[in-house]
Copies of this chain bind each other. A is one copy, B any other.
């Protein structure tokens, strides 16, 4: 494990992306997003993604200079064509559009199609919360993916994550929740596989839909399971409808193995009551749950988003831990793109 500063990761990422044909301002945006996600402790969605983004650029699935565009809009809704731009660029565009519409119309939503990986969904919930808005961000996929439906086998759903943001005026907010509707995302299987360790019951089923703790069963055609049984499955289906069907109107078939898209909903509390009145009540909610005595094995009750903010402060102070494997992959990509090795080693 190496320890590097966030600034160093930003510089490395920026040089890699610009060397791959990304305009400087776009590279800054994407790298800031990935480094921020890494600082928050969500390593699976952070700088570890740089090599796969570069691979997508090389394959033509990601157009590094592209910008999203509005395909259709009303006062409250917008259909955004991601135009195969970086997902972060498309999702930020859609979120800002929904925030602007919600300022005027109180509610707004944007659906994004032809969108690359948008990173951590909570980033957009945080953006809306900074603007004083509640939000729900959903990525949904069906027809292809890694997850089985409740009671079934086979990879017919994505990990279909949700994020929610709730602004407040106090020190415990904003609340930022961000989770996959599968028990775990695939990244945790990769870790278990590398360590040759069994996974807990409830994470995966094998190809035939039998419960298993052998992570290799996933890589032989098995699938991830929804969290919480039928409840997580229901949420996954909602994500597939909002993110997939609403954004794309797609029907899986020979030309379209999987239907997938993103849905961003923004709620302006001023549609219901003055912001300060809502925010004071949200503060009271956070205070109320934090005042609950800790359960056995717990030291305190945390608001969703608090663990990430603590990890961020720690990593800013102590540096960001980067696994050797991730670092090596960054070096390989940098070398392939002709990025000066001083960038990796001398900073």
Contact = CB atoms under 8 A, between A and B. Distances in A.
A315 B177 CA distance: 40
A151 B106 CA distance: 34
A107 B77 contact: yes
A228 B227 contact: yes
A231 B227 contact: yes
Contacts of A175: 237, 241
Contact of A294 (B151, B234, B250): B151
A245 interface: yes
A259 B284 contact: yes
Contacts of A164: 234-235, 238
A227 B234 CA distance: 13
A282 interface: yes
Most chain B CB atoms below 10 A, which of A152, A295, A304 = A295
A260 to B, nearest CB: 11
Nearest to A232: B228
Copies of this chain = 2
Interface string A156-179: 110000001010000000010101
B109 A295 contact: no
A271 B234 CA distance: 23
A245 B294 contact: no
A230 B179 contact: yes
A129 to B, nearest CB: 11
A24 to B, nearest CB: 34
B107 A288 contact: no
19 contacts: A74-B106, A107-B109, A142-B288, A151-B294, A151-B300, A151-B302, A152-B301, A153-B294, A154-B292, A164-B234, A166-B237, A175-B241, A177-B237, A179-B231, A205-B295, A237-B289, A244-B281, A246-B269, A249-B281
Given A77-B107, A152-B298, A240-B285, 15 more contacts: A77-B271, A149-B292, A150-B302, A152-B294, A153-B295, A157-B289, A179-B231, A211-B296, A228-B231, A250-B284, A251-B280, A252-B284, A259-B281, A259-B284, A265-B265
